[in-house]
Amino acid sequence: MAGHDQLAHGQPVEARDDPPLTAELLCARYAPRVYRFAAMVAAGDVEAEDLAQDAMVRAIRNLGRFDASRGSVETWLWRIVVNAAIDAGRVSTRRRLLWERFRSQPTIGENVEDLALMRITATELLAAVRRLRPRERGTIALRFGAGLGFAEVGAACGTSPAAATMAIRRALKTLRILLKETR
């Protein structure tokens, strides 16, 4: 594809943002956040690097197809990243998708003080995130790893902002349960 040849050599691509996006600029702006997302979603550090690299390369190679009239660069990018995560997590039967319908969770107290978070290390917290189900991990990673708002999480997952909000809340509940078990 001629498009990504040009991109990789630093030639600008027409996009809504100013200055025009190049591969380098896309990396400078988004790669750290894509990696944060990947680090939460993936099972380990090697897989996280794999996923972040795969997602960014996909985005760079498709920059020429980006249509500013259909949405922002950020919305477009995070859909690519989520799709890369789905592909990475796809099981061999190819039947179960990562972004399946929300799982119902048992209700527990919301008081975060109960969690004694002061005693939980960052390593334990990341390990607990990685133990979540893919769907839960994904929403947590988009919200808190990539720093997206609820509407942006919804756009990336193909759901409404309200559904994304609910999904994030449920994921946080599950994470609290895991952290309680950790203590």
Partner 1 sequence: MSTNLEDRLADLDLRMPDTLVPRILAQAAQPGTRRIQPVRHRPRWVTVAMAVVLLVVVVSGASFFAPRFAQALADAPIVGTAVGPALRSVGLAGLQGRFTALDSRTTSSGYTVKLVAGYADNNQTVLVLKVEPPDHSFFAQPRLTDQFGRTIELRGGMSDQRTGDNVLLFNGVPWPDSFLGARLRLHATILEALPNGQPVSGDWTLEGTIPVESSRALPLPSAGNLGDSTFRFTQIEATSATVSIHMEISGPLAKQLDRVVGETIPEVAKPHPAFSYELIDAGGGAATAISGTASTGIGPAKFSATWVISHPGEYRLRIAYEGIGSFERTITVP
| Residues making contact with partner 1 (CB under 8 A) | 1, 4-5, 7-9, 23-24, 27-28, 31-32, 35-36, 39-40, 43-47, 49-50, 52-54, 56-57, 60-61, 87-88, 90-94, 103, 112-113, 115, 117-118, 120-127, 129-130, 140, 143-145, 147, 172, 175-176, 179
Rounded CA separation 125/170 (Å): 17
Q: Which two tokens stand for residue 45?
A: 């550090």
- The nearest distance, CB 57 to partner 1, in angstroms, is 5
**Cβ-based nearer residue to partner 1, 29 or 79:** 29
- The nearest distance, CB 14 to partner 1, in angstroms, is 18
- The nearest distance, CB 156 to partner 1, in angstroms, is 17
Q: Which two tokens stand for residue 140?
A: 């947590």
CA distances from 83 to 64, 105, 117, 143 (A): 18, 25, 32, 16
DSSP one-letter code for 21: B
Burial class (CB in 10 A: 0-12, 13-18, 19+), 83: middle
**Cβ-based nearer residue to partner 1, 91 or 162:** 91
Angle at 56 between CA 54 and CA 57, to 5 degrees: 65
**Cβ-based nearer residue to partner 1, 61 or 69:** 61
